[in-house]
Chain A
Amino acid sequence: DGGITQSPKYLFRKEGQNVTLSCEQNLNHDAMYWYRQDPGQGLRLIYYSQIVNDFQKGDIAEGYSVSREKKESFPLTVTSAQKNPTAFYLCASSSSGTGANNYGYTFGSGTRLTVV
């Protein structure tokens, strides 16, 4: 079955450490996204990529980095510069399109990151 796989499901990080969250999709989608979800805050966009080897900052990119070396993969690194990293991280993908031809996002099951 096609879909998006995020790993790990739970991740614990010590302060000062960098950690990388994995996101892989086999939907042949061009665009991929990373969102952060905090209680009562909805989903906030961290980074997005519409094509391989290109990505753009979202609303809260500070303290995060990404790469898009393959169409299927869009890993997110949470660096030590991110002051409040404890959150639920969601990866999503979609077919490319504009305006009325936009498509719905397919989300992964998420990674819950906790700083200990």
Chain B
Amino acid sequence: GQQVMQIPQYQHVQEGEDFTTYCNSSTTLSNIQWYKQRPGGHPVFLIQLVKSGEVKKQKRLTFQFGEAKKNSSLHITATQTTDVGTYFCAGYRGYSTLTFGKGTMLLVSP
């Protein structure tokens, strides 16, 4: 079945440094979504990418969808302590349910 792989599993950065997490699928995705889960919290929807090669920005966050629609990335510029959490990518399987990656845990030191 469809698998969604995320790397790295964990990253620790100093405040102000950039951060990138990568997501790769074994099959072509109709779209991809990104979620953020703060420690002790629940996942919160960030964004959805649909088109091949699509790039979207939300303040310091930049999301990309690959040309082949099999990979995606989330880049955070100049991290802040409020960025701490686990970032998940998720792709639709069979048009009905999301398959989540295992997430990248981001720790930001002040």
Chain A residues packing against B (C-beta within 8 Å): 31, 33, 35, 40-45, 48, 50, 58, 90, 98-100, 102-110
List 18 interface pairs A-B (beta carbons < 8 Å), by A numbering: A35-B100, A40-B9, A40-B102, A43-B100, A44-B100, A90-B42, A90-B43, A98-B96, A99-B30, A100-B50, A102-B31, A102-B48, A102-B92, A103-B48, A104-B33, A104-B45, A105-B33, A105-B35
Where the two chains meet, the residues of B that have a C-beta atom closer than 8 Å to any C-beta of A are 9, 30-31, 33, 35, 41-45, 48, 50, 88, 92, 95-103
B96 CB, nearest partner CB in chain A, Å: 7
- Total number of residue pairs linking A and B with CB closer than 8 Å: 57
Shortest B50–chain A CB gap in Å is 5
Across-interface contacts of B97 in A (CB, < 8 A): 33, 45, 48, 58
A107 in complex: contacting residue of B44, B48, B96, B102, CB < 8 Å: B44
B104 to chain A, nearest CB (A): 10
Interface centre among A35, A102, A106, A108 (most CB of B within 10 A): A102
Q: Which of B31, B44, B101 contacts A42 (CB 8 A)?
A: B101
